[in-house]
Amino acid sequence: MAGIYISWPFCAQKCTYCNFASGVQPKELEDQYIPALQAEYAAHRWQWTPETLYLGGGTPSALEPERIPQLLSGLPGRPWREATLEAAPGSLNPEKLAAWVAGGINRASLGVQSFNKAELARTGRKHDAETVRRDVSLLRDFGIGNINLDLISGLPGQTEQSWRVSVEAVIALEVPHVSVYMLEVDDDSRLGAEIILGGKRYGAFDVPGDDEIAGFYEYAVEELARHGIARYEISNFARPGMESLHNLKYWKREPYVGFGSDAHSFDGTMRWQNVETARKYVDKWRKSEPIRAETSRPNPVEEKFFVGLRLAEGVEPDNQDWERFGPAFERFLAGGVMERDGSRLRLTARGMMISNEIFEEFLVA
Ligand code: SF4
């Protein structure tokens, strides 16, 4: 079964660690972006009926309620089994929630990142712990109980103590899904530039070390599991049966189509990606030029391990995989970063923390 991704690359502020092609952009660009999106929907030839939808960003929760129907009309598959909207804490209100529910949204993902006000302030976020509690309660009042909360381990100034408070606060809210990302500072972000060039504005001097960040992550894995929220993917944790149906498609190599700037698509064989910025996307639409920037045919063997090993269930290598990668499997098994589960292989907790190094072994020349 397939999914739809819609990119809404507009934000109220640019977070210091973020290097996505999204951020604060002119209002007039937003006005042009919606008809460009609708044109892309209309031009798409649907080969299947989508069962999931993900409206991501950027900050789609900042959209005025009357724009939600414009954004979601013209898409097949209603009622979607799972339709998620990415939300910034503090940007929700009853009018918007009513529009989301009317539009078919039945899941929300809140970019909480931390429950510590000082950590949040340094990232450029304006909410606090109370904002998150209010938003979760409002979502539930409107029947959206399928809620994900995002946390980031490794924010500037984060300590073992403050991290524990954030993890406990997430657990106390009894949501069914949690994502925990280890901070990776990209040179292109403002925080990344400060790390390279020096300065005190964004707290670059106060970013925890790699071992400390890994320790925070391990603590979250154990503590969430103790409360019935198990890791099913490197960064994703859920109560039984509450895994994200849409995101699972990425890791199970099921088809999805992405609309909007920087959106990615996969039809089971080919992958393609739209132009990166909203400005380019709108310009291409106006000039009736192709909005696809890149198309590639990925190697299915590489991808089987690249994406499959992200999942806690791991992958099932066939005879050819054993012939090709046998020595690497044996080395990872002996090193304690991989383990067997019957005929399946999966990463251990330690393996998940160095997953990028492991994945490199599965590059097919
Ligand atoms: S982290 Fe999210 S909200 Fe912040 S600038 Fe990036 S896309 Fe926007």
* Between residues 197 and 138, the one the model is more confident about: 138
Q: Whose CA is nearest to atom 6 of ligand 1?
A: 18
Q: What is the pLDDT of residue 194?
A: 86
Q: What is the pLDDT of residue 185?
A: 83
Q: Which of 8-22, 102-116, 146-160 has the lowest mean pLDDT?
A: 8-22
CA–CA separation, 25 and 321 (whole Å): 47
**Contact indicator for 88, 63 with CB cutoff of 8 Å:** no
Q: Strands of 271-274's sheet, edge to edge?
A: 230-233, 236-238, 177-182, 146-153, 107-113, 82-87, 50-57, 2-8, 256-259, 264-266, 271-274, 292-296
Q: What is the pLDDT of residue 170?
A: 98
For the chain, what percent of residues have pLDDT higher than 70? 100
Asked whether residue 284 carries a pLDDT value surpassing 70, the answer given is yes
Q: How far is the CA of 323 from the centre of ligand 1 (A)?
A: 43
Q: What is the pLDDT of residue 205?
A: 86
E strands, the chain, are 2-8, 50-57, 82-87, 107-113, 146-153, 177-182, 230-233, 236-238, 256-259, 264-266, 271-274, 292-296, 338-341, 344-347
Show the ligand 1 pocket: residues with CB < 6 angstroms: 11, 14-15, 18, 20, 22-23, 57-59, 88, 111
Which ligand 1 atom is the nearest neighbour of the CA of 57?
A: 7
Asked whether residue 150 carries a pLDDT value surpassing 70, the answer given is yes
Q: What is the pLDDT of residue 365?
A: 64
User: Stretch 294-313: mean pLDDT, rounded?
Assistant: 93
- pLDDT confidence band for 358 (50 / 70 / 90): very high
Return the best residue to mutate from 7, 11, 30, 120 for the ligand 1 pocket (most ligand atoms within 8 A of CB): 11
Asked whether residue 83 carries a pLDDT value surpassing 80, the answer given is yes
Q: What is the pLDDT of residue 363?
A: 84
**Contact indicator for 140, 160 with CB cutoff of 8 Å:** no
CA–CA separation, 156 and 183 (whole Å): 9
Residues 40-81 have pLDDT tens digits of: 999 999 999 999 999 998 999 999 999 998 899 989 999 999
**Tokens of residue 220, six digits:** 């979250």
Q: How far is the CA of 96 from the centre of ligand 1 (A)?
A: 20
For the chain, what percent of residues have pLDDT higher than 90? 82
Return the best residue to mutate from 18, 85, 155, 184 for the ligand 1 pocket (most ligand atoms within 8 A of CB): 18
Beta strands 236-238 and 264-266, pairing class: unpaired
Q: Could you say which DSSP state residue 361 is in?
A: G
- pLDDT confidence band for 19 (50 / 70 / 90): confident
**Angle at which helices 278-286 and 27-43 cross, to 10°:** 60
User: SS3 for 226?
Assistant: helix
**Contact indicator for 315, 344 with CB cutoff of 8 Å:** yes
Domain ranges of the chain: 2-251, 300-362
Asked whether residue 299 carries a pLDDT value surpassing 70, the answer given is yes
User: Stretch 201-218: mean pLDDT, rounded?
Assistant: 90
* Between residues 20 and 60, the one the model is more confident about: 60
Integer-rounded Cα Rg, in Å, for the chain is: 21
CA–CA separation, 216 and 22 (whole Å): 28
- pLDDT confidence band for 195 (50 / 70 / 90): confident
**Contact indicator for 359, 309 with CB cutoff of 8 Å:** yes
User: Stretch 274-279: mean pLDDT, rounded?
Assistant: 97
**Contact indicator for 177, 196 with CB cutoff of 8 Å:** no
SS3 content of the chain, % helix, strand, coil (to 5): 40, 20, 35
> At the topology level of CATH, where does 2-251 sit?
Transcription Regulator spoIIAA (3.30.750)
Residues 243-266 have pLDDT tens digits of: 999 999 999 999 999 999 999 999
Q: Which residue has 């993900």 as its token pair?
A: 54
User: Stretch 12-24: mean pLDDT, rounded?
Assistant: 88
